[in-house]
């Protein structure tokens, strides 16, 4: 794997590998806490061992940023103005909009990016709910900020990467994905307070495996009801006269399903993190299942396929499972006993494939460290 990626990216850059700078940003799986980040709430993601890799080198004269992508879901080449001017959302192919958005976000901060050549390769599945777009935006932001000599702390980098992503997609996301990529810690999930941006690593039990299963049903936030759900949460907070649903009580939202999900999900995130710290493994599964029911029934972002995946995983022996990410397709995350993970996943996938007619993709996710610069020996 390392040799293949080094050779491909080096050939595309036309530059000896040791003369390029190399940057990686991981995807993430959210263990619990969805549609809470933009409500100033709590989330518990972990950075995973699927990542976006960007190699950067000086570019040809003319002030352009030339990018070549070589992933199965993201390939081709694009030239974008280094000054960030123009409509990011109009760039083709669509993945090039993230390059344009990153350059525009940096320009808005006062950075000047010189002519640059970039090569991009990603192992984060697109449309999976595992934050492929944010991994791309963070990796691009790290590479291009470095090329410009512009220094940002990690929280400012997260905000800039979110700005780039919004410019590229038009989807008003929260900061969870970018923070997870930039603050990941091996063997840990991250309890993130999305109001204060305080981040507390929480160790994961070594006896459990985090299993991710793609439903085979891709989701696209720009074409989903994501923005509608966010608007409903903001409207509910306005009706209650509070800054965000983070401040609402269960009694205040009892008759509003969208708001009820946010309030109950925030409580579940804190309970889940407390159970991890206490080593109370038995409490984790029921919280995952309660989260899925809330996302399905109150927030209405599940699908029959995701519901089926949760069912077959639990029937096969998972402690608990839930959709992860924004919903409308993508992935389910499950906690399983590590020594039974392979057999459990094989049984669940076989049953799901037969019942749905879709082709799932399953893997065990490992919690990894934060995005940043890598040397050739660290590429994998």
For residue 181, CA distances in Å to 50, 134, 139, 168, 200 come to 11, 8, 9, 19, 14
Residue 44 host element (H or E): strand 42-58
Residue 375's nearest CA partner among 24, 141, 15 is: 24
Active site residue 297: no
| DSSP secondary structure letter of residue 330 | S
CA distance 344 to 75: 34
Q: What proportions of the chain, in percent to the nearest 5, are helix, strand and coil?
A: 45, 25, 30
CA distance 62 to 68: 17
> Across-strand partners of 367?
48
The catalytically annotated residue of 37, 51, 177, 256 is 177
Residue 137's nearest CA partner among 149, 148, 117, 122 is: 122
| Cα first-last separation, the chain | 6
CA distance 16 to 9: 10
Contact 59, 115 (CB under 8 A): yes
154-169 and 132-148 helices, crossing angle to 10°: 120
Q: For residue 257, give both structure tokens.
A: 């399903």
> Across-strand partners of 363?
212
Active site (catalytic) residues: 177
């Amino acid at each position: 794997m390392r040799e293949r990626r080094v050779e491909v990216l080096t050939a595309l850059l036309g530059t000896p590998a040791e003369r390029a700078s190399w940057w990686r940003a991981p995807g993430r799986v959210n263990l619990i806490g969805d549609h809470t980040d933009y409500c100033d709430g709590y989330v518990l993601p972990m950075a995973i061992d699927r990542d976006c890799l960007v190699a950067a080198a000086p570019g040809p004269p003319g002030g352009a940023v030339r990018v070549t992508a070589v992933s199965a879901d993201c390939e081709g080449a694009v030239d974008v103005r280094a000054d960030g001017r123009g409509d990011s959302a109009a760039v083709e192919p669509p993945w090039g909009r993230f390059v344009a958005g990153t350059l525009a976000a940096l320009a808005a901060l006062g950075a000047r990016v010189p002519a640059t050549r970039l090569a991009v390769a990603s192992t984060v599945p697109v449309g999976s709910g595992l934050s492929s777009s944010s991994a791309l935006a963070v990796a691009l932001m790290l590479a291009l900020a470095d090329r410009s000599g512009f220094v940002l702390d990690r929280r400012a980098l997260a905000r800039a990467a979110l700005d780039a992503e919004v410019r590229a997609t038009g989807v008003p996301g929260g900061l969870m994905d970018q923070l997870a990529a930039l603050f990941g810690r091996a063997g840990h999930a991250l309890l993130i307070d999305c109001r204060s941006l305080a981040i507390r690593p929480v160790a994961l039990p070594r006896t459990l495996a985090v299993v991710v299963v793609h439903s085979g049903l891709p989701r696209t936030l720009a074409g989903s009801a994501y923005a509608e759900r966010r608007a409903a949460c903001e409207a509910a907070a306005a009706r209650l006269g509070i800054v965000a649903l983070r401040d609402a009580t269960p009694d205040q939202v009892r008759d509003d399903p969208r708001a009820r999900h946010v309030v109950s999900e925030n409580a579940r995130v804190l309970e889940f993190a407390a159970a991890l710290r206490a080593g109370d493994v038995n409490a984790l599964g029921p919280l995952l299942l309660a989260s899925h029911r809330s996302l399905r029934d109150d927030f209405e972002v599940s699908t029959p396929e995701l519901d089926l995946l949760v069912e077959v995983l639990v029937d096969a022996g998972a402690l608990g499972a839930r959709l992860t990410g924004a919903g409308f397709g993508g992935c389910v995350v499950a906690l399983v006993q590590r020594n039974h993970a392979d057999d459990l996943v094989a049984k669940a996938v076989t049953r799901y494939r037969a019942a749905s007619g879709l082709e799932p993709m399953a893997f065990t996710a490992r919690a990894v460290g934060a995005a940043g610069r890598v040397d050739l020996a660290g590429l994998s």
